[in-house]
Amino acid sequence: MAKKSDDRADIYMRITDLIVKDLEQGVRPWMRPWRAGNTDGRITRPVRYNGLPYSGMNVLLLWSEQMSRGFSSSMWMTFKQALELGGAVRKGETGSTVVFASRFTKSVADGEGNDVDREIQFLKAYSVFNIEQIDGLPDTYYVPPAKVLDPVERIESADRFFCNTGAVIRHGGNQAYYSPVMDYIQMPPFEAFRDAAGYAAVLSHEATHWTAAEHRVGRDLSRYAKDRTERAREELIAELGSCFLCADLGIAPELEPRPDHASYLQSWLSVLANDKRAIFQAAAHAQRAASFLHSLQPDADVKAAA
């Protein structure tokens, strides 16, 4: 039993170490898809064999694998799924790690002689293969990705998305931020941005902060202004949330950190060094934020949110 526990801890540590290594070189690994020279095509979330997108930490893991191994496809499946579809993973190919969070109930002593049930969360890793590592799948799996929406259509779609959230968005000044006390998003004038995509990318970051209110997803921002570590954690959540949303909306995130965000790099390194679960928690919070924003769209009841 101790061995399994050690293995689970190793998953957290192994993945955190890889992300820390990138951050130490000044690279934000979640930005890698947009830096890889493949921005002629649409950057999407990694998807399963059935077309459903991956979420949370698995988005970061598979984006990293796709970029480092040069895959153009964003579709992944297990060895068994490939067989069930009539395909076969080519000999010598190695899988990529994804994780699955679950929990089990364990009976433990409460210190007063009573046994109480406690839920124990655990993380399980398994391997998936990109479809470019698999032969013999039905032809539909090898069809080129759909044509990218024209830039104007993409921006109009993003505008509708943020309008549908109902967030109060004010314009003016030279700073972008979310005010938890007044519950509004402040954005510089549209003209202050490089282009419409830049405006939408910054807004996606602030909209992720906006989800934190108690009547939305309920993320505690009470210590944001006073505690540097808590601020770094929340900014990491907002940055990951922005990347998820940008992929969903077909726009590019802020490839260069804003001046007010550049200082977070060292803070993130400190947070990750002291807590091997921090990046997993941040990705989970970012996923909840993105899913909440998707749930506010008019077609959320007929189209699964990412």
Q: pLDDT per residue over 86-123, tens digit each?
A: 999 999 999 999 998 776 677 777 767 777 777 667 78
What whole-number distance in Å separates Cα of residue 63 and Cα of residue 120?
A: 29
Q: Is the pLDDT of residue 131 over 70?
A: yes
pTM exceeding 0.85: yes
Using 50, 70 and 90 to split pLDDT, how confident is the model at 1? very low
Judge whether residue 294 has pLDDT over 60: yes
pLDDT (tens digit per residue) in 76-87: 999 999 999 999
**pLDDT of residue 288 exceeding 90:** yes
pLDDT the model gives residue 154: 81
Per-residue pLDDT at 162 exceeds 50: yes
Arithmetic mean of pLDDT over the chain: 88
Q: Which position has the higher pLDDT, 111 or 189?
A: 189
DSSP secondary structure string, the chain? -HHHHHHHHHHHHHHHHHHHHHHHTT--GGGHHHHSS-TTSPP---B-TTSPBP-THHHHHHHHHHHHHT----BEE-HHHHHHTT-EEPTT---EEEEEEEEEEEEEE-SSS-EEEEEEEEEEEEEEEEGGGEES--GGGGSPPPPPPPHHHHHHHHHHHHHHTT--EEE-SS--EEETTTTEEEE--GGGSSSHHHHHHHHHHHHHHHTTSTTTT----TTTTT-HHHHHHHHHHHHHHHHHHHHHHT----SS--HHHHTHHHHHHHHHHH-TTHHHHHHHHHHHHHHHHHHTSTTTTTS---
Whether residue 305 has pLDDT greater than 60: no
Is residue 269 within 8 A of residue 21, CB to CB? The reply is: no
Q: List pLDDT tens digits, range 240-287.
A: 999 999 999 999 888 887 777 777 888 999 999 999 999 999 999 999
Cα separation, 2 vs 14, in Å, equals 18
Lowest mean pLDDT: which of 40-49, 60-69, 93-102, 178-187?
40-49
Q: Is pLDDT above 70 for 2? A: no
Each residue's pLDDT tens digit, 208-231: 999 999 999 999 999 999 999 999
Chain-centre distance for alpha carbon 305: 14
